[in-house]
Structure 1
Amino acid sequence: MKLATTLFAGALAAASFAGVAAQALPACPVIVSHGGYPTGANPWDRDQLRAPNNPEAVDALIGQGAGGFEADVQLTKVAVGSDGTVSGKAVMWHNTSTHGLNGVKKNITDIYWSSGSDKLEGRTLQWGPYQGEGVYSLRQWLDHVAAKGAFAELEIKPETKVFLVDGSAAVKAKAWSEIADPVRERYRNQAITVYSHDPDIAAALKSRVAAGTFPAVLGGGPSWPDTVKWEEPPPSWSGNAASWQANLATGPERVATSWTADYRKWLAGRCS
């Protein structure tokens, strides 16, 4: 009887310790995948088109542990036609040009989505892990991410400044609506945040949010603790370990990384 009591007490103590240990761990953050883009001279020559701007990339990264994505918004040519209508489409693409896609190389801002011999619609990736995938509109991409229950962080690329900031009144109205409308249609039921590295676009975005002409989706983005610069082939994740640990100690809700699978494995036992 004494032995049984001792064993029972030991089991209770072990369970209590395990509970305390679990409580001491921080909550696991949502992993926000960033595809990884080379640095240094002529990075486009080494780019493997890893950005999660298409459904195949989204699905593959979810399989590695992602719960969100940092993706890229570009605008095709925004122009006023002879009949007064204004063309233009918000699309999901990282690069300035169509480099990496089939067809004649053109800047994204110089071609139309669905018209013209050099149109963007229907072009496909020519190399990389998602070879054969296409280019998608912002609406299409947001719908796919929503269907997966994932978070969306949208970077408005600096190339769009020619329309969003420098365009005529009609061009600016169309350009902003191409980004604002899909977000407005979804943000109450889908976790979305929007930002830009371009200071003029960022200022215009902030102004439009303040004026109520763009949804209030400027906050809630992930932290970015990666310190190793991406390259092709991908460098080891291990150089990020110290910055990952320091970041995790702050209790981030969302963490962006280019090493999705490695970060998920690294988190094991460090959060709950």
Structure 2
Amino acid sequence: MLLRTKAAFVTSLAAIAMTVTPPVAHSQARAGRVASCPLVFGHGGYPSGPNPWERDQIRQPNNVRAVNDQKARGADGVEGDVQLTRHGTKAVMWHNTTTNGLTGTRKNITDIWWTAGSDNLRDRRIARGPYAGEQVYTLRQWLDHVRSTGLIALLEVKTEARAVLSDPVYAAAAWKEISDPIKERQASQRILVYSLDSWIQAELAKRHPGLLKGSEARWTDGVSWEEPTPAWSGNVSRWQEVLAQAPESVMTNFTREYRTWLTGACG
């Protein structure tokens, strides 16, 4: 694990604000002291405000093409979203509570089967956005592809999974769907886990204590995501603030722009 050292930065914010795409280096370290660059985790972007799912263009790196794009944009890792299908029978990579953004009738992910039935999840495809036509991947498939790219896997176990993960009838099998793929690969692949649900997070701490995200992959953007894509330059002040704290790694929706912005600011 890389050690991060604090450094002082001299930054001209006005010059940055006038810079057009592609962004350029925001500063040079003072007196030759250069901070270590943080690892960069690509997130993808999800709209804010009312009814965000209606504007969601399915940019999350939960599918192969999206993962590849994050790699091409300079990411060191990707954040993916783990959901469970009906009765916890399959751990899959998807971010919305429902199948919104996929072909077929809209249903809750937790109410449909992976392969059974005409409305199963495996046979659906992304219906809009840059990854239209892509399928939904299982956790195992996703982890294997992320490993093949050399990226770090950051898994968020979604809040929707709590109902089945805490159900005495299905919990054991459901946890195996999440934990087994991680355990099978953790010796040869760097994997981090977390959840925004406090109960799931506590369970992850028991089951995967050495893999908890903790303070890693700190959120760095200052601009809320929206569709169409907002300007990257609105993030500069927040990017500068977070970088000055010498984080080991950060998470961003603006992977390529952030990577370019780091040029000359760290080493």
> Smaller-chain TM-score range?
0.7 to 0.9
Change (3 A) 1:148 1:23: farther
Say whether 1:91 aligns with 2:92. Answer: yes
Query: Counterpart of 1:199?
Result: 198
| Counterpart secondary structure, 1:242 | helix
Supply the distance in 2 between the matched residues of 1:200 and 1:93 (Cα, whole angstroms).
20
Query: Counterpart of 2:84?
Result: 75
* 1:88-139 deviation per Cα after TM superposition (whole angstroms, max 9, x unaligned): 0000000011111111111100001011121100211011011111000000
Query: Counterpart of 1:37?
Result: 46
Supply the distance in 2 between the matched residues of 1:242 and 1:25 (Cα, whole angstroms).
19
* 1:11-32 deviation per Cα after TM superposition (whole angstroms, max 9, x unaligned): xxxxxxxxx9795111222210
Letter in 2 for 1:132: G
Query: Counterpart of 1:171?
Result: 170
Kept after mapping to 2: 8 A contact 1:29/1:253: yes
Letter in 2 for 1:158: T
- Select the structure that is richer in helix: 1
Query: Counterpart of 2:154?
Result: 153
Query: Counterpart of 1:226?
Result: 221
Kept after mapping to 1: 8 A contact 2:74/2:255: yes
Indicate the RMSD between aligned Cα atoms, in angstroms: 1.6
Kept after mapping to 1: 8 A contact 2:222/2:237: no
Query: Counterpart of 1:130?
Result: 131
Letter in 2 for 1:26: A
Q: How many residues align?
A: 238
| Counterpart secondary structure, 2:219 | coil
Stretches of 4+ aligned residues off by more than 4 angstroms: 20-23
Supply the distance in 1 between the matched residues of 2:236 and 2:209 (Cα, whole angstroms).
36
* 1:143-184 deviation per Cα after TM superposition (whole angstroms, max 9, x unaligned): 00001111111000011011112x12x400011111100010
* 1:42-65 deviation per Cα after TM superposition (whole angstroms, max 9, x unaligned): 101100000000010010111111
TM (normalized to structure 2)? 0.85
Supply the distance in 2 between the matched residues of 1:219 and 1:71 (Cα, whole angstroms).
13
Deviation of the 1:195 alpha carbon: 0.6
Supply the distance in 2 between the matched residues of 1:55 and 1:68 (Cα, whole angstroms).
13
User: Which stretch shifts more, 44-53 or 183-192?
Assistant: 183-192
User: Which stretch shifts more, 246-255 or 226-235?
Assistant: 246-255
Query: Counterpart of 2:7?
Result: none
Equivalent residue for 2:210, pick from 193, 204, 216: 216
Letter in 2 for 1:190: Q
| Counterpart secondary structure, 1:216 | helix
| Counterpart secondary structure, 1:255 | strand
Letter in 1 for 2:119: D
Query: Counterpart of 1:238?
Result: 233
| Counterpart secondary structure, 1:32 | strand
Query: Counterpart of 1:12?
Result: none
Letter in 1 for 2:117: G
Deviation of the 1:202 alpha carbon: 1.5
Among the aligned pairs, what percent are the same residue? 52
Query: Counterpart of 2:107?
Result: 106
Supply the distance in 2 between the matched residues of 1:219 and 1:107 (Cα, whole angstroms).
27
Change (3 A) 1:64 1:22: farther
Query: Counterpart of 2:56?
Result: 47
Supply the distance in 2 between the matched residues of 1:39 and 1:104 (Cα, whole angstroms).
24
Query: Counterpart of 1:182?
Result: 181
| Counterpart secondary structure, 2:226 | coil
Deviation of the 1:215 alpha carbon: 5.7
When Rg is computed on C-alpha atoms for both structures, the one with the higher figure is 1
Kept after mapping to 2: 8 A contact 1:180/1:215: no
